[in-house]
Amino acid sequence: MTYWLSIVVATPAHSSVAGALTYASEWPLAPGTLVRVPLGRREVLGVVWEVLPDSGDLLPAQARAVLGALDGLAPLSATWRRLVAFTASYYQRSIGEVALAALPPQLRALSTVQLARRLKRPVAAAPDTPDTTDLIALSPEQERAIAEFDADTRPALLFGATGSGKTEVYLRAAASVLAQDASAQVLVMVPEINLTPQLQARFEERFAHLGKAQVVALHSGLTPAQRLKSWLAAHAGQARLVLGTRMAIFASLPNLRLIVVDEEHDPSYKQQEGARYSARDLAVYRAMLESSTNSSSSIAAPSFSAGAAEPAPPGRRRSAPPGGSEPHEVGSVGAMSCRVLLGSATPSLESWQATVAGRYQRLTMSERIGAADLHGSLPTVRLVDMNHQPKHCTIAPPLLDAIAQRIARGEQSLIFLNRRGYAPVLACHDCGWKSECPHCSAFRVFHKMDRTLRCHHCGFTERVPRACPGCGNIDIAPLGKGTERLEEHIAELLVGVTRPDGSPLHNSVRIARIDADTTRLKGALESQLASVHAREVDVLVGTQMIAKGHDFRHITLVAAINPDGALFSSDFRAPERLFGLLMQAAGRAGRDAERGEASEMWVQTFHPQHPLFGALKKHDYPAFAAQELKEREAAGMSPFGFSALVRAEAREQAVAQGFLNAAAETAQAQQLPGAEAVTPYPAVPMTIQRVANIERAQMLVESSSRAALQRFLAAWQPLLHQTRQEGDFKGLIRWAIDVDPLAI
């Protein structure tokens, strides 16, 4: 007997084979089964999506057969498949691309025999030891937050000041879930493993009694073998707690009962290549799927996808989502068997607005652990008006004096500049030559450590020329400052500074720098952080890598050197990112309760009267959020308006823009579904319009209705394919749709 199966394989969205394919099988295979199938001349991994009643339009003689199933591996659950299908539908990608990218790379390459051998390897048994962890006493705010979380069913946003003990709330919530159900699983998501080593260490230490086999990590920093081992443990239900980055949202967890998203505002949760999904938003949606008592019933989408419909099965033409329909309340699904807990000191405005509207539950913790009140616990913010400082001054004299005083008292300081390298540009003042990248519309950054000019976009690197390539002038000089130059400059400024007893300070000043350049080697970041914690560093200089996620107990002063650029950026999200980054950086100071009252955050700015800095001085995120949301609502921007970016890459800028404009004109002429509520703007070059000799253009598409935008994008996809094939766009390389873009 022949069974007809709809199977998804990895095909890109712009491919002519973007849906599921029909295969014949000698065996009855359940949906979710992983199989090896032929695709062209290759043998690839596929996922059985559904069992078909017949071969449809495919002639039996044309059918290709399934080569074999991955025996011993349980089928992927219906909930997992619905999550993948929704992701592909909402973010306008191929379902096979999303499904296969969610699986470990090594699994996609293993044969059935190789997988069988791996599954036969013994798994270390969980130690039969009770949890003897000495739990710290909770603060009243922590106790209230846990009680409120347990009493509600909605997605929860834990709005807690830095140092207020959010991690302990995560730990208690996870421990409670694992204790209630012996098979329950917990997913803890972090923006970047390298930026949150303390969180990873605390979870591993707290749940060490479960054994290494039941506490696993899942992120791209693992070797392929380690990643496969963690995924198999999670899929089999052996791993009780999974700690991972954004890719972990697609982990196969059959008994998932809690999802924790730490630093939920972090842009790292938005994938920037391939399927540009938001792992934070999908965490909310997945919790709702897992909580459904009937997996086949209709489930309302979370706030990020209000009005979007459940996707149709792959291989079938997707019907347009219903227009104008209001999403159901999240709590109306029934008893929540899976909860989601988002946490941040500076939440994304989308999540904050969801709490204002009542869709999310808000848990507030405003006090630092060990602090008596809010104003006494958080660092004092001092604004340095650079208009009144010496011209071309990098470190204002008052700030330099404050740093010297901290060093003299044996305390640490953190200097934050979000620009690595020695200088962003190397220039000749005689002929005007600058260190432009020959392959990108950007400058190569001067790195003094290895005397190179390095493009941070395409990676092109050259040695620094001995003289100006344009005129031969040997006096070429750096313009601007990066962390490498700042480190050198601070060391120069501290020469001659004396201690209160009159002894010179520079003899014992220890300055360290942490950025992408100093942490390239494996273990370098851990080693440098250990030096800071051991108080072997007096002044720490770095980028955003050190501004968030670290528990520095002896830092009492944090300084932001040049934050003004984001105040007047063309990207409407720039102020939100700046405020969050400065608040996170400020949170690195005064985490030791004994030094909390003396901690300070210094901000050097030419615009001290800007409202953003006014809210920062008061540590008043609610006031900042209210003002930003008011402005966004007036402008129809997220979370009150909805948008997508269509990007095109070509050998020539005119080709990229021409393709986008032609596709938009065709869409308007044919009056696609939802077009009446959608506004496509003319195509423009991207901010960095040329990277690696590829020209890049983008088109912004906006709508006041997310449902209308989704209908329009779904109907526009075939026209984009058609425009590329029929138009004179021979130099066009690729195009992609980015739904809910983070940067415009």
Is residue 376 very low, low, confident or very high in pLDDT (cuts 50, 70, 90)? very low
**Average pLDDT for residues 21-27, to the nearest whole number?**
90
Is residue 312 very low, low, confident or very high in pLDDT (cuts 50, 70, 90)? very low
DSSP β-ladder status, 185-189 and 361-365: unpaired
Residue positions in the annotated binding site? 428, 431, 437, 440, 455, 458, 468, 471
Residue 492: CB partners within 8 Å, gap ≥ 6?
none
Pair 679, 702: CB distance under 8 Å: yes
Per-residue b/e over 513-522, b at no fewer than 16 CB within 10 Å?
A: bbbebbbeee
Query: What is the structure's pLDDT at 331?
Result: 34
CA distance 447 to 435: 12
Pair 241, 322: CB distance under 8 Å: no
SS (H, E, C) 320-359: CCCCCCCCCCHHHHCCCCCEEEEEECCCCHHHHHHHHCCC
CA 622, chain centre distance (Å): 23
SS3 content of the chain, % helix, strand, coil (to 5): 35, 20, 45
- What value, to the nearest 5°, has the Cα angle with vertex 623 and ends 617 and 626? 150
Query: What is the structure's pLDDT at 500?
Result: 54
Q: pLDDT tens digits for 48-82?
A: 999 998 877 777 777 899 998 988 899 999 999 99
SS (H, E, C) 144-185: HHHHHHHHCCCCEEEEECCCCCHHHHHHHHHHHHHHHCCCCE
Higher pLDDT, 431 or 59: 431
CA distance 708 to 711: 5
Tokens 């025999």 belong to: 113
Higher pLDDT, 367 or 664: 664
* φ, ψ (nearest 5 deg) of residue 176: -65, -45
Query: What is the structure's pLDDT at 118?
Result: 79
Q: pLDDT tens digits for 452-467?
A: 999 999 999 999 999 9
3-state secondary structure of 49: strand
3-state secondary structure of 620: coil
**Average pLDDT for residues 117-132, to the nearest whole number?**
64
37-46, 344-353, 502-511, 669-678: least confident range: 502-511
**Average pLDDT for residues 615-639, to the nearest whole number?**
94
DSSP 2: -
> Does 318 score more than 60 pLDDT?
no
Sign for the CA dihedral angle at 31, 32, 34, 38 comes to: positive
Q: pLDDT tens digits for 188-214?
A: 999 987 766 677 788 888 998 888 778
Average pLDDT, the chain: 86
Note the pTM of the prediction, 2 decimals.
Answer: 0.89
Query: What is the structure's pLDDT at 554?
Result: 86
Q: Which domains does the chain have, with CATH numbers?
A: 3-120 (3.40.1440.60), 140-293+334-365 (3.40.50.300), 379-420+483-618 (3.40.50.300), 423-480 (no CATH), 642-739 (3.30.70.260)
Pair 583, 265: CB distance under 8 Å: no
Query: What is the structure's pLDDT at 409?
Result: 85
> Which tokens sit at 124?
């270390």
Kindly list the strands in the beta sheet with 445-447, ordered across the sheet, starting from the edge strand earlier in the chain.
445-447, 452-454, 461-463
CA distance 522 to 291: 40
Query: What is the structure's pLDDT at 568?
Result: 85
DSSP-assigned states of every residue in 592-614: STTTGGG-EEEEEES-TT-HHHH
CA distance 656 to 460: 24
Q: pLDDT tens digits for 479-526?
A: 999 999 999 999 888 876 665 556 666 557 889 999 888 888 888 888
Pair 644, 697: CB distance under 8 Å: no
291-300, 355-364, 442-451, 543-552: least confident range: 291-300
CA distance 202 to 199: 5
Query: What is the structure's pLDDT at 71?
Result: 83
**Average pLDDT for residues 318-327, to the nearest whole number?**
31
Residue positions in the annotated binding site for Zn(2+)? 428, 431, 437, 440, 455, 458, 468, 471
Share of the chain above pLDDT 70, in %: 87
